[in-house]
Chains A and B, each alone.
Chain A
Amino acid sequence: MILRIVIDLFFALGIFFMFAGVVGMIRMPDTFCRLQSSTNIVTMGSLPILIGTAIYGFSIGNTMIGVKSIVIGVFILLTNPAGSHALTKAAYRSKAKMINKDVCDDYGRDINE
C-alpha cells in the first residue's frame, strides 16, 4: 500500500510538470520561449513517470519492466538536450521571429564575424 502511494506521487509530479509544459507551449509568445517550455515536457515530465514504472516493475518481481524503464529514462536524459540544442540552432539560423529585438545576442555576433 505504501508502495502504491509512492508510485502515485511520482505520477502526479510527472503529470504536473507535463501540464505546465503544455500550458507554456500554448501561451508563450515566441519560438524560443516555446522551445524552452518543450524541454519541460520531455525531461521533467517523463522522468518521474518512468521512475514510477521502474519501482512498480521491481516491486512485482518482473525485472525486465524495471530495467527497460531505466534504459528509456537514461536514453531520454541523454538525447533530449542534444535535440533541443539542434532545434534552437536551426530556429536561429532560419530567422525565426524574436519577440524582443534589443536583447543580448552573442550567437549572432559570433557567426557574423
Chain B
Amino acid sequence: MDIQFDFIIVGIIISLLAIVLFYRVFKGPHVIDRMVASDSIDVIIGLVMVLYGCFEGRSLYLDLGLIVTLLGFIGTILISKYMGGDL
C-alpha cells in the first residue's frame, strides 16, 4: 500500500461526485443552475488533474489543472454578465 494508492482513491471518489452533479446540469430549471453545476464540475476536473500529477510525480499536470480552472472562471464570469444584461 503505497501513498500513490491514496491519490487514485481520492481521484475516483471525486470523479463519482462530479458524475452525480451531472443530474443538476441536465435537469436544472434555470440557466444559472446548469452554470453553477458546470463550474463545480470544472473545478473538480482541475483537482483530478492535480492528483494525477502527484501520482505520476511530475508537475506538468498541475499547470494543466491551473489552466482548466482559469478558463472555467472566465466562462462563468462571461455567462453571468450575459445573463445579467450587462453585455
Contacts and interface: CB of A to CB of B under 8 A. Distances in A.
B69 A26 contact: no
Q: B interface, by DSSP: helix, strand, loop or mixed?
A: helix
B62 A31 contact: no
A11 B54 contact: no
Contacts of B6: 4, 7-8, 11
Contacts, number: 135
Contacts of A31: 29-30, 32-33
A79 interface: yes
B10 A19 contact: no
Given A71-B66, A86-B77, A91-B30, A49 B17 contact: no
Given A15-B14, A87-B36, A94-B31, A68 B73 contact: no
A71 B30 CA distance: 33
Interface residues of A, number: 46
A73 to B, nearest CB: 10
Nearest to B72: A83
A78 to B, nearest CB: 10
B62 A65 contact: yes
10 contacts: A7-B6, A31-B30, A42-B39, A53-B54, A71-B66, A87-B32, A87-B76, A89-B80, A94-B30, A96-B32
Interface of A: 4, 7-8, 11, 15, 18-19, 21-22, 25-26, 31, 34-35, 38, 41-42, 46, 49-50, 53, 56-57, 60, 62, 64-65, 68-69, 71-72, 75-76, 79-80, 82-83, 86-87, 89-91, 93-94, 96-97
